[in-house]
Amino acid sequence: MSLLEVRDVTVRFGGLTALSEVSVAVEPGTVHGIIGPNGAGKTTLFNVVCGFTRPASGSLLVRGVELRDHRPHHLARLGIARTLQGLGLFAHSSVLDNVLVGADRHASMGVWGSLIGRGEEAALRARAMAALESLGVAEWASALPGALPYGLRKRVALARALVAEPDLLMLDEPAAGLSEVEREELVALIRGLPMAVVLVEHHMDLVMSVCDRITVLNFGRVIATGSPEAVRADPDVAEAYLGAAS
Protein backbone atom coordinates (compact mmCIF):
# COMPACT_ATOMS: atom_id res chain seq x y z
CA MET A 1 0.00 0.00 0.00
CA SER A 2 1.29 3.47 -0.87
CA LEU A 3 2.02 5.86 1.99
CA LEU A 4 0.54 8.73 0.00
CA GLU A 5 -1.61 8.54 -3.08
CA VAL A 6 -2.73 11.52 -5.13
CA ARG A 7 -5.50 10.25 -7.38
CA ASP A 8 -6.71 12.10 -10.49
CA VAL A 9 -6.40 15.52 -8.87
CA THR A 10 -7.55 18.57 -10.83
CA VAL A 11 -7.01 22.11 -9.57
CA ARG A 12 -8.41 25.22 -11.25
CA PHE A 13 -7.65 28.86 -10.56
CA GLY A 14 -10.46 30.65 -12.35
CA GLY A 15 -10.09 29.69 -16.00
CA LEU A 16 -6.60 28.23 -15.54
CA THR A 17 -6.20 24.50 -14.99
CA ALA A 18 -3.09 24.27 -12.79
CA LEU A 19 -3.34 20.48 -12.36
CA SER A 20 -5.18 18.14 -14.67
CA GLU A 21 -6.01 14.64 -13.40
CA VAL A 22 -2.64 14.23 -11.71
CA SER A 23 -1.86 10.94 -9.98
CA VAL A 24 1.23 10.25 -7.87
CA ALA A 25 1.97 7.36 -5.52
CA VAL A 26 4.66 7.69 -2.85
CA GLU A 27 5.96 4.48 -1.30
CA PRO A 28 7.17 4.24 2.34
CA GLY A 29 10.83 5.10 2.85
CA THR A 30 11.41 6.33 -0.71
CA VAL A 31 12.44 9.74 -2.03
CA HIS A 32 9.97 10.89 -4.67
CA GLY A 33 10.88 13.90 -6.80
CA ILE A 34 8.36 16.23 -8.43
CA ILE A 35 9.98 18.20 -11.23
CA GLY A 36 8.88 20.26 -14.20
CA PRO A 37 9.40 23.64 -15.84
CA ASN A 38 8.18 26.93 -14.34
CA GLY A 39 4.44 26.99 -13.86
CA ALA A 40 4.12 23.22 -14.36
CA GLY A 41 2.06 22.84 -11.18
CA LYS A 42 4.67 21.55 -8.70
CA THR A 43 3.87 23.95 -5.87
CA THR A 44 0.15 23.53 -6.52
CA LEU A 45 0.53 19.77 -6.08
CA PHE A 46 2.55 20.33 -2.91
CA ASN A 47 -0.15 22.66 -1.59
CA VAL A 48 -2.88 20.11 -2.31
CA VAL A 49 -1.05 17.48 -0.25
CA CYS A 50 -0.47 20.01 2.55
CA GLY A 51 -4.15 20.98 2.60
CA PHE A 52 -3.64 24.59 1.50
CA THR A 53 -5.32 24.11 -1.87
CA ARG A 54 -8.58 22.28 -2.42
CA PRO A 55 -8.80 20.29 -5.63
CA ALA A 56 -11.83 20.66 -7.92
CA SER A 57 -11.85 16.87 -8.24
CA GLY A 58 -9.78 13.84 -7.36
CA SER A 59 -8.73 12.44 -4.00
CA LEU A 60 -5.87 12.06 -1.53
CA LEU A 61 -5.19 8.83 0.32
CA VAL A 62 -2.78 8.35 3.21
CA ARG A 63 -1.99 4.70 3.98
CA GLY A 64 -4.94 3.74 1.79
CA VAL A 65 -7.46 5.91 3.66
CA GLU A 66 -9.11 8.71 1.73
CA LEU A 67 -8.82 12.13 3.37
CA ARG A 68 -12.00 14.15 3.78
CA ASP A 69 -11.92 17.91 4.24
CA HIS A 70 -8.11 17.87 4.37
CA ARG A 71 -6.54 20.89 6.19
CA PRO A 72 -2.96 21.92 7.02
CA HIS A 73 -3.43 21.29 10.76
CA HIS A 74 -4.31 17.63 10.03
CA LEU A 75 -0.81 16.94 8.64
CA ALA A 76 0.90 16.27 11.98
CA ARG A 77 -1.54 13.57 13.03
CA LEU A 78 -1.23 11.97 9.59
CA GLY A 79 2.52 11.71 10.23
CA ILE A 80 3.37 14.29 7.56
CA ALA A 81 5.76 17.20 8.10
CA ARG A 82 6.77 19.88 5.61
CA THR A 83 9.11 22.73 5.03
CA LEU A 84 7.94 25.61 2.89
CA GLN A 85 9.62 27.52 0.11
CA GLY A 86 11.63 30.02 2.19
CA LEU A 87 12.16 29.48 5.90
CA GLY A 88 9.15 30.30 8.06
CA LEU A 89 11.23 30.63 11.24
CA PHE A 90 10.17 32.88 14.12
CA ALA A 91 12.71 35.71 14.21
CA HIS A 92 12.28 36.46 17.92
CA SER A 93 12.47 32.88 19.18
CA SER A 94 15.68 30.93 19.66
CA VAL A 95 16.73 28.22 17.25
CA LEU A 96 15.80 25.62 19.88
CA ASP A 97 12.34 27.10 20.44
CA ASN A 98 11.78 27.18 16.69
CA VAL A 99 12.49 23.46 16.55
CA LEU A 100 10.29 22.76 19.59
CA VAL A 101 7.33 24.13 17.62
CA GLY A 102 7.66 21.05 15.41
CA ALA A 103 7.56 18.67 18.36
CA ASP A 104 3.93 19.18 19.31
CA ARG A 105 2.84 16.00 17.55
CA HIS A 106 4.76 14.06 20.14
CA ALA A 107 3.64 16.33 22.94
CA SER A 108 -0.01 15.50 22.38
CA MET A 109 0.11 11.84 21.43
CA GLY A 110 2.21 8.83 20.63
CA VAL A 111 5.56 8.35 22.29
CA TRP A 112 5.26 11.44 24.47
CA GLY A 113 1.59 11.19 25.33
CA SER A 114 2.26 9.41 28.61
CA LEU A 115 4.87 11.89 29.79
CA ILE A 116 3.80 14.81 31.89
CA GLY A 117 4.93 18.20 33.18
CA ARG A 118 8.60 18.98 33.52
CA GLY A 119 9.61 15.51 32.43
CA GLU A 120 7.79 15.99 29.15
CA GLU A 121 9.32 19.40 28.61
CA ALA A 122 12.81 18.04 29.20
CA ALA A 123 12.21 15.10 26.88
CA LEU A 124 10.95 17.40 24.12
CA ARG A 125 14.01 19.62 24.50
CA ALA A 126 16.25 16.58 24.28
CA ARG A 127 14.47 15.54 21.06
CA ALA A 128 14.84 19.01 19.59
CA MET A 129 18.52 19.14 20.53
CA ALA A 130 19.05 15.72 18.95
CA ALA A 131 17.44 16.97 15.72
CA LEU A 132 19.70 20.03 15.73
CA GLU A 133 22.71 17.83 16.41
CA SER A 134 21.89 15.46 13.57
CA LEU A 135 21.94 18.45 11.22
CA GLY A 136 25.11 19.92 12.67
CA VAL A 137 23.56 23.10 14.09
CA ALA A 138 23.24 22.26 17.82
CA GLU A 139 25.83 24.89 18.78
CA TRP A 140 23.35 27.54 17.60
CA ALA A 141 20.50 26.34 19.82
CA SER A 142 20.23 29.50 21.91
CA ALA A 143 20.91 31.95 19.05
CA LEU A 144 18.19 33.80 17.16
CA PRO A 145 17.74 32.45 13.60
CA GLY A 146 18.80 35.81 12.14
CA ALA A 147 22.31 35.29 13.52
CA LEU A 148 22.83 32.23 11.29
CA PRO A 149 23.88 32.18 7.64
CA TYR A 150 21.06 31.20 5.24
CA GLY A 151 22.26 27.61 4.71
CA LEU A 152 22.21 26.94 8.45
CA ARG A 153 18.79 28.54 8.86
CA LYS A 154 17.51 26.09 6.23
CA ARG A 155 18.83 23.29 8.44
CA VAL A 156 16.95 24.68 11.43
CA ALA A 157 13.74 24.66 9.36
CA LEU A 158 14.50 21.05 8.43
CA ALA A 159 15.21 20.13 12.07
CA ARG A 160 11.79 21.49 12.99
CA ALA A 161 10.16 19.17 10.44
CA LEU A 162 12.26 16.16 11.51
CA VAL A 163 11.67 16.48 15.24
CA ALA A 164 8.11 15.21 14.83
CA GLU A 165 9.54 11.99 13.34
CA PRO A 166 7.12 12.03 10.41
CA ASP A 167 6.59 9.08 8.06
CA LEU A 168 6.53 11.56 5.18
CA LEU A 169 8.56 14.72 4.82
CA MET A 170 7.45 17.22 2.17
CA LEU A 171 10.16 19.58 0.89
CA ASP A 172 9.43 22.45 -1.53
CA GLU A 173 12.64 23.58 -3.22
CA PRO A 174 14.92 22.85 -0.25
CA ALA A 175 18.01 23.74 -2.29
CA ALA A 176 16.82 27.25 -3.18
CA GLY A 177 19.43 29.80 -2.13
CA LEU A 178 22.02 27.16 -1.21
CA SER A 179 25.60 27.11 -2.49
CA GLU A 180 26.85 24.11 -4.47
CA VAL A 181 28.62 22.70 -1.41
CA GLU A 182 25.50 23.15 0.72
CA ARG A 183 23.46 21.43 -2.01
CA GLU A 184 25.76 18.42 -1.90
CA GLU A 185 25.46 18.29 1.88
CA LEU A 186 21.68 18.42 1.49
CA VAL A 187 21.74 15.48 -0.92
CA ALA A 188 23.72 13.39 1.60
CA LEU A 189 21.34 14.43 4.34
CA ILE A 190 18.17 13.56 2.42
CA ARG A 191 19.65 10.21 1.42
CA GLY A 192 20.24 9.41 5.10
CA LEU A 193 16.67 10.13 6.20
CA PRO A 194 14.63 7.10 7.27
CA MET A 195 11.22 8.46 6.24
CA ALA A 196 9.63 8.92 2.82
CA VAL A 197 10.40 12.28 1.21
CA VAL A 198 8.53 14.21 -1.46
CA LEU A 199 10.94 16.64 -3.03
CA VAL A 200 9.70 19.48 -5.23
CA GLU A 201 12.81 20.78 -6.92
CA HIS A 202 14.15 22.78 -9.80
CA HIS A 203 17.73 21.50 -9.73
CA MET A 204 17.72 18.49 -12.06
CA ASP A 205 21.10 17.26 -10.79
CA LEU A 206 19.90 17.22 -7.19
CA VAL A 207 16.70 15.40 -8.09
CA MET A 208 18.52 12.86 -10.23
CA SER A 209 21.06 12.03 -7.54
CA VAL A 210 18.71 11.73 -4.58
CA CYS A 211 15.37 10.36 -5.82
CA ASP A 212 14.18 6.78 -6.11
CA ARG A 213 11.28 7.83 -8.33
CA ILE A 214 10.46 11.01 -10.20
CA THR A 215 7.20 12.43 -11.50
CA VAL A 216 7.51 15.07 -14.20
CA LEU A 217 4.79 17.69 -14.62
CA ASN A 218 4.32 19.97 -17.59
CA PHE A 219 1.39 22.36 -17.98
CA GLY A 220 -0.36 20.66 -15.07
CA ARG A 221 -0.14 17.14 -16.47
CA VAL A 222 2.05 14.16 -15.60
CA ILE A 223 4.23 13.61 -18.66
CA ALA A 224 6.52 10.96 -17.15
CA THR A 225 7.02 8.95 -13.99
CA GLY A 226 9.69 6.40 -13.15
CA SER A 227 13.29 5.94 -12.09
CA PRO A 228 15.77 8.82 -12.58
CA GLU A 229 17.34 6.91 -15.48
CA ALA A 230 14.01 6.36 -17.22
CA VAL A 231 12.98 9.99 -16.75
CA ARG A 232 16.34 11.27 -17.96
CA ALA A 233 16.01 9.19 -21.12
CA ASP A 234 12.41 10.23 -21.81
CA PRO A 235 12.16 12.38 -24.96
CA ASP A 236 8.98 14.13 -23.71
CA VAL A 237 10.87 15.29 -20.62
CA ALA A 238 13.79 16.60 -22.64
CA GLU A 239 11.39 18.44 -24.90
CA ALA A 240 9.48 19.99 -21.99
CA TYR A 241 12.70 21.31 -20.46
CA LEU A 242 14.16 22.46 -23.78
CA GLY A 243 10.89 24.13 -24.69
CA ALA A 244 10.87 25.94 -21.37
CA ALA A 245 14.48 27.05 -21.78
CA SER A 246 14.06 28.55 -25.25
Ligand X SMILES: Nc1ncnc2c1ncn2[C@@H]1O[C@H](COP(=O)(O)OP(=O)(O)OP(=O)(O)O)[C@@H](O)[C@H]1O
Q: Which residues bind ligand X (CB under 6 A)?
A: 13, 16, 18, 36, 38-44
* Count of CB atoms situated within 10 Å of the CB of 190: 20
- The listed partner (Mg ion, ligand X, none) that binds 16, CB under 5 to 8 Å by sort, is ligand X
What does the alpha-carbon distance between residue 151 and residue 145 come to, in Å, rounded to a whole number?
11
The DSSP code sequence of 206-225 is HHHHH-SEEEEEETTEEEEE
CB of 41 to Mg ion, least distance (A): 9
Task: Please identify, using beta-carbon distances, which residue of 54 and 77 lies nearer to ligand X.
Answer: 54
What does the alpha-carbon distance between residue 33 and residue 224 come to, in Å, rounded to a whole number?
12
CB of 84 to Mg ion, least distance (A): 11
- The footprint of Mg ion on residues 20-59 (CB under 5 A) is 42-43
Helix 150-162 and helix 117-134, axial crossing angle in degrees, nearest 10: 130
What does the alpha-carbon distance between residue 173 and residue 187 come to, in Å, rounded to a whole number?
12
Task: Please identify, using beta-carbon distances, which residue of 17 and 94 lies nearer to ligand X.
Answer: 17
Closest CA to 196 of 63, 60, 19, 8: 63
Residue 209 · residue 190 · CB < 8 Å: no
- The listed partner (Mg ion, ligand X, none) that binds 114, CB under 5 to 8 Å by sort, is none
Task: Please identify, using beta-carbon distances, which residue of 137 and 171 lies nearer to ligand X.
Answer: 171
CB of 161 to Mg ion, least distance (A): 18
CB of 19 to Mg ion, least distance (A): 12
Task: Please identify, using beta-carbon distances, which residue of 54 and 71 lies nearer to ligand X.
Answer: 54
Q: Using CB under 5 A as the criterion, which residues of the chain lie in contact with Mg ion when the complex forms? A: 42-43
